[in-house]
Chain A
Amino acid sequence: MSETVAPDLPTTAQPVIRPVIRVRDLVTRFGTQTVHDGLDLDVQAGEVLGVVGGSGSGKSVLLKEILGLIKPAAGRIELLGHDTADLSRDERAALQARTGVLFQNGALFSSMTVAENIMLPLKEHTDLPLSLIGEVARVKIAIAGLPPDAGAKQPSQLSGGMVKRAALARALALDPAILFLDEPTAGLDPIGAGAFDTLIRDLQRSLGLTVFMVTHDLDSLVTICDRIAVLVDKKIRVGTLEQHLADPHPWIHDYFHGPRGRAARHATD
């Protein structure tokens, strides 16, 4: 009959038809400087992808392009099956409701309390009654590992680690399918960073998130990432840790075989 062999999947299973993030032939230029040249990337549903690269290799730029904050010079970016270039306002807003972003320094709105920060996306994207929005915000504060009194505080009253957790709670406000993290453990002490890694891993498992994480933290890469994407030579190389360890490319070799890389791997052995 037909060639379709896949049976109808139950709704609980992951319908792995297309990658949740699909980047093709991406070109990014700033003036005369080319940052990405023909970059391809697939991120599968339910995986934790770590993105690494040297300074200026365009990690954060790639993140912003996928989020639609920067327009690439050429190429195609699909997010959850939608081409991000041709979306109407409402479609874009709907798509953005399915992604959560944790910026490097949290980017909490400084004029609002933590709870108001978390409630803002809910107020904007839903018509839920205020009492339910408050309830959801309380849950997010709790699962992000914040103490109960943190909700009423201003961002300026929080420590660095707490700001990250509050920002994570806001990123998770709308129960997104994809969570973007920009250097989540930067600026945290090793214990705080380890705890944050564990939190991300736990949430990823319990909420079924796909995580796109720009990081420099080798411990995070080793402990929580399923695959690692390395930005080298204006392109990206994706693979597991083992595959990268066998890669002869000088930058990748130095990165994973340097003293820090070794220490991180041994720590988890």
Chain B
Amino acid sequence: MVAERVWIKSRQGDAGSDGATGEGAWRLDAGGRWTLDAADAATAALDAIQLAKSASAVRFGLAGLEALDTVGACLLMGLADRLTAEGRKVTVLDARPEHAALIDAVRGAGKAAVKIVAPSHHPIIDMIAGIGEDSIAAGKEALDLIGFLGLVTITFARLLLHPSRLRVTSVFYHIQQTGLNALPILGLLSFLIGVVLAFQGADQLKRFGAELYVVNLLGVSVLREIGILMTAIIVAGRSGSAFTAQIGTMKVNQEVDAIGTMGLDPIELLVVPRAIALMVSLPLLAFYADIMGLFGGAVMSYATLNITFGQFILQLHTAVGIGTVMAGLIKAPVFALVIAMVGCYEGLKVSGSAESVGTLTTKSVVEGIFLVIVIDALFSVLFSVLGV
């Protein structure tokens, strides 16, 4: 153990150069390494300092300091301030020039009224205020999103008048990205969902001896709801987020500004091709998901219930008509539009920092899935009213 790496001593009487003595004259001497890594020992040493009540003038010698950093300076000056507050006169002396400069800097900084703790409020009031702010923000966001839809619609209408301005390459690129490249994951997940549905359905229907109706169950649920919903959710997670991240990165990089200053329209260039691409690919994906879901169900029905593929198809034919298929697929373009709008809108909202790309990408996925499910519920209400 290194003895007395950091030390401070007090004694009565003063052996200073001016030779002042007397009852009230005390002397403090600090030395060693007053740095962050010795802060514990330094604090203990400071606590051990005892001065007589009568000590009215303290000469604080710093000649013994070998090293000093801001923590050490804070501790030493904390002691000096405490003694001053107790009504004693403190004189700091013999500090090396570099230590004196650091002490001055720390003292100067100590005087500035720097707040490091945010002003606190009542937590319940904060919570209520937070709910209010979030509600207003959500309402504003909804309005902005509708405004954005209007803007895109106008741009789209203008493109219909000048079809040559449409970025065909970009549309095909995004069809490949959002459609073709989603086939493996979507196919696998839909197949598995079909398997699970068939298994669970068979388990229940066996009790009534109505195993064959598992085909009806599968047909209606996959074709009307599950196929399209799975597709929309996967696309919102895959492509909605990609739209936000792509456009957001361009925003951070000022590429969107650059498009604007070239007399080009960011909506026309970035949003419309993505929206068109998604409206083409999502219905195709939904149909593919329907087929894969039914295939999964057929495989499971054969495995657990011994329903052959032939029986399956015959039963499917009696259970569902083209109306059931269409009731599912008709929702696809609407979901595609919603996902594309949310993804592009959040991307264009990115401001400055790379962090906001991440935040808004998350938001775009959550918002996209939320709106898809809400609109799906609205479709169900509509279909039941229409008797579809």
Give B125 Cβ to nearest chain A Cβ, in Å: 23
Contact residues on A (Cβ < 8 Å of other chain), bracket:
20 to 34
Q: Are A92 and B263 in contact (CB under 8 A)?
A: yes
> B353 an interface residue at 8 Å Cβ cutoff?
no
Instruction: Give the residues in chain B near A120, CB-CB below 8 Å.
Output: 262
Residue of B whose beta carbon sits closest to that of A102: B258
> B126 an interface residue at 8 Å Cβ cutoff?
no
Once the chains are docked, how many angstroms separate the CA of A101 from the CA of B261?
A: 7
Instruction: Give the residues in chain A near B253, CB-CB below 8 Å.
Output: 105, 107, 110
Give B157 Cβ to nearest chain A Cβ, in Å: 13
Q: Are A93 and B263 in contact (CB under 8 A)?
A: yes
Q: Are B263 and A69 in contact (CB under 8 A)?
A: no
Q: Are B255 and A69 in contact (CB under 8 A)?
A: no
> B92 an interface residue at 8 Å Cβ cutoff?
no
Q: Are B263 and A104 in contact (CB under 8 A)?
A: no
Q: Are B257 and A121 in contact (CB under 8 A)?
A: no
> A246 an interface residue at 8 Å Cβ cutoff?
no
Q: Are A67 and B262 in contact (CB under 8 A)?
A: no
Q: Are A96 and B263 in contact (CB under 8 A)?
A: yes
Give B275 Cβ to nearest chain A Cβ, in Å: 18
Per-residue CB contact flags for chain B residues 242-266 toward chain A (1 = under 8 Å, else 0) read 0000000110011101101111100
Residue of A whose beta carbon sits closest to that of B253: A107
> A94 an interface residue at 8 Å Cβ cutoff?
yes
Chain A interface, DSSP helix/strand/loop, else mixed: mixed
Q: Which of B250, B257, B258 has most A Cβ within 10 Å? A: B258
Q: Are A67 and B263 in contact (CB under 8 A)?
A: no
Once the chains are docked, how many angstroms separate the CA of A97 from the CA of B261?
A: 8
Q: Given B249, B258, B263, which contacts A103 in the complex, CB threshold below 8 Å?
A: B258
Residue of A whose beta carbon sits closest to that of B170: A111
Residue of B whose beta carbon sits closest to that of A92: B263
Per-residue CB contact flags for chain A residues 51-72 toward chain B (1 = under 8 Å, else 0) read 0000000000000100111000
Give B348 Cβ to nearest chain A Cβ, in Å: 13
Q: Given B255, B258, B263, which contacts A124 in the complex, CB threshold below 8 Å?
A: B263
> A251 an interface residue at 8 Å Cβ cutoff?
no
Per-residue CB contact flags for chain A residues 71-114 toward chain B (1 = under 8 Å, else 0) read 00000000000000000000011111101010111011110000
Give B221 Cβ to nearest chain A Cβ, in Å: 41
Residue of A whose beta carbon sits closest to that of B262: A121
> A125 an interface residue at 8 Å Cβ cutoff?
yes
Residue ranges of B at the interface with A (Cβ–Cβ < 8 Å): 249-250, 253-255, 257-258, 260-264
Excluding A64-B257, A108-B255, 11 further A-B contacts by CB distance (< 8 Å) are A67-B260, A68-B261, A69-B257, A92-B263, A93-B263, A94-B263, A95-B263, A96-B262, A99-B261, A110-B250, A125-B262
Can you name 27 A-B residue pairings with CB atoms under 8 Å? A67-B260, A67-B261, A68-B260, A69-B257, A94-B263, A95-B263, A96-B261, A96-B262, A97-B263, A101-B257, A101-B258, A101-B261, A103-B254, A103-B257, A103-B258, A105-B253, A105-B254, A107-B253, A107-B254, A107-B255, A110-B250, A120-B262, A121-B262, A121-B263, A125-B262, A125-B263, A180-B261
Residue ranges of A at the interface with B (Cβ–Cβ < 8 Å): 64, 67-69, 92-97, 99, 101, 103-105, 107-110, 120-121, 124-125, 180
Q: Which 6 A-B pairs have the closest CB atoms?
A: A93-B263, A96-B263, A107-B254, A107-B258, A103-B254, A101-B261
